[in-house]
Structure 1
Amino acid sequence: MIRKFLAERISWILLIVILQLLALFVAFVDQTVPLSSIIYYIFLSGLLVVFFLFIRYRKETRFYMELEDRDNDLDLTTFPEADSPFESVIETNVRDQMERLKQEASYNQSLLEQEKDELLSWIHDVKTPMTAMRLIIDRIDDYKLRSQLTFEWMRIHLLLDQQLHQKRIPFIENDLYIEEVELEPLLFNEIKSLQSWCMQKGIGFDIDLQAESVLTDAKWLAFICRQLMTNAIKYSEESEITITSMEEAGRIKLMFQDEGRGIDPRDLPRIFEKGFTSTTAHQDQAATGMGLYLTDRIREALKIDIEVQSELGKGTTFILLFPEPNEFTKLRSM
Structure 2
Amino acid sequence: MIRKYITEKRSWLLLLAVLQAIIIFVAYVDSSIPLLPVLYIVMLNTLLFLAFVFLRYPRETRFYRSLEAWDQIYDLQAVVEPGSPMEQIVLEAVSAQTDRYKRESSVNYQLLESEKDELLSWIHEVKTPLTAMQLMIERLTDETLQRQLMYEWLRIHHLLDQQLHQKRIPFIRNDLFIEKVSLAPILNKEIRALKSWCISKGIGFDVDLAAEEVLTDGKWLAFMLRQLLTNAVKYSEDSDILIRSSEADGHVVLVIEDSGQGIDPRDLPRIYDKGFTSSRVRQESAATGMGLYLTRQVAEPLQIRLHAASTPGQGSVFTLTFPRENDFQRLTGM
1:235-268 CA distance string (max 9 Å, x none):
1112222234445556554332221111122323
Tell whether the 8 Å contact from 1:206 to 1:242 is kept in structure 2 after alignment. Answer: yes
Task: Measure the CA separation in 2 of the matches of 1:179 and 1:304.
Answer: 14
Aligned-pair CA distance for 1:117: 1.4
Structure 1 runs not aligned, ≥5 long: none
* Equivalent in the alignment of 2:166: 166
Q: Against the structure 1 CA distance between its residues 184 and 50, is the aligned structure 2 distance closer, same or farther, given a 3 Å change threshold?
A: farther
Percent identity over the alignment? 56
Return the letter of the residue paired with 1:189: K
* Equivalent in the alignment of 1:311: 311
Q: Against the structure 1 CA distance between its residues 156 and 330, is the aligned structure 2 distance closer, same or farther, given a 3 Å change threshold?
A: farther
Query: Which stretch has the larger CA shift, 268-277 or 113-122?
Result: 268-277
Q: Aligned to 1:318, what secondary structure does the other structure show?
A: strand
Return the letter of the residue paired with 1:116: K
Return the letter of the residue paired with 2:275: G
Superposition map of 1:1-334 within 5 A: 1-248=1-248, 251-322=251-322, 325=325, 328=328, 332=332
Return the letter of the residue paired with 2:237: E
Task: Measure the CA separation in 2 of the matches of 1:296 and 1:12.
Answer: 58
Tell whether the 8 Å contact from 1:137 to 1:150 is kept in structure 2 after alignment. Answer: yes
Q: Against the structure 1 CA distance between its residues 25 and 304, is the aligned structure 2 distance closer, same or farther, given a 3 Å change threshold?
A: farther
Return the letter of the residue paired with 2:92: T
Return the letter of the residue paired with 2:115: E
Return the letter of the residue paired with 2:134: R
Aligned-pair CA distance for 1:230: 0.6
Aligned-pair CA distance for 1:110: 1.2
Tell whether the 8 Å contact from 1:178 to 1:332 is kept in structure 2 after alignment. Answer: no
Report how many aligned residue pairs link the two structures.
333
Aligned-pair CA distance for 1:124: 1.4
Return the letter of the residue paired with 2:233: I
Tell whether the 8 Å contact from 1:246 to 1:254 is kept in structure 2 after alignment. Answer: yes
Task: Measure the CA separation in 1 of the matches of 2:181 and 2:69.
Answer: 43
Q: Aligned to 2:83, what secondary structure does the other structure show?
A: coil
Query: Which stretch has the larger CA shift, 206-215 or 271-280?
Result: 206-215
Task: Measure the CA separation in 2 of the matches of 1:310 and 1:157.
Answer: 27
Query: Which stretch has the larger CA shift, 172-181 or 275-284?
Result: 172-181
Task: Measure the CA separation in 1 of the matches of 2:3 and 2:16.
Answer: 18
Return the letter of the residue paired with 1:131: T
Tell whether the 8 Å contact from 2:281 to 2:287 is kept in structure 1 after alignment. Answer: no
Q: Against the structure 1 CA distance between its residues 50 and 116, is the aligned structure 2 distance closer, same or farther, given a 3 Å change threshold?
A: same
Tell whether the 8 Å contact from 2:63 to 2:79 is kept in structure 1 after alignment. Answer: no
Return the letter of the residue paired with 2:164: L
Q: Against the structure 1 CA distance between its residues 173 and 127, is the aligned structure 2 distance closer, same or farther, given a 3 Å change threshold?
A: same
Return the letter of the residue paired with 2:78: T
Query: Which stretch has the larger CA shift, 174-183 or 227-236?
Result: 174-183
Task: Measure the CA separation in 2 of the matches of 1:184 and 1:26.
Answer: 99
Task: Measure the CA separation in 2 of the matches of 1:326 and 1:145.
Answer: 52
Over the aligned positions, Cα root-mean-square deviation in angstroms equals: 2.7
Tell whether the 8 Å contact from 2:261 to 2:315 is kept in structure 1 after alignment. Answer: yes
Return the letter of the residue paired with 1:317: V
1:252-301 CA distance string (max 9 Å, x none):
54332221111122323433333332222322122222222322333344
Task: Measure the CA separation in 2 of the matches of 1:325 and 1:68.
Answer: 44
Aligned-pair CA distance for 1:161: 0.5
Task: Measure the CA separation in 1 of the matches of 2:305 and 2:234.
Answer: 23
Task: Measure the CA separation in 1 of the matches of 2:68 and 2:249.
Answer: 42
Query: Which stretch has the larger CA shift, 311-320 or 168-177?
Result: 168-177
Aligned-pair CA distance for 1:99: 1.4
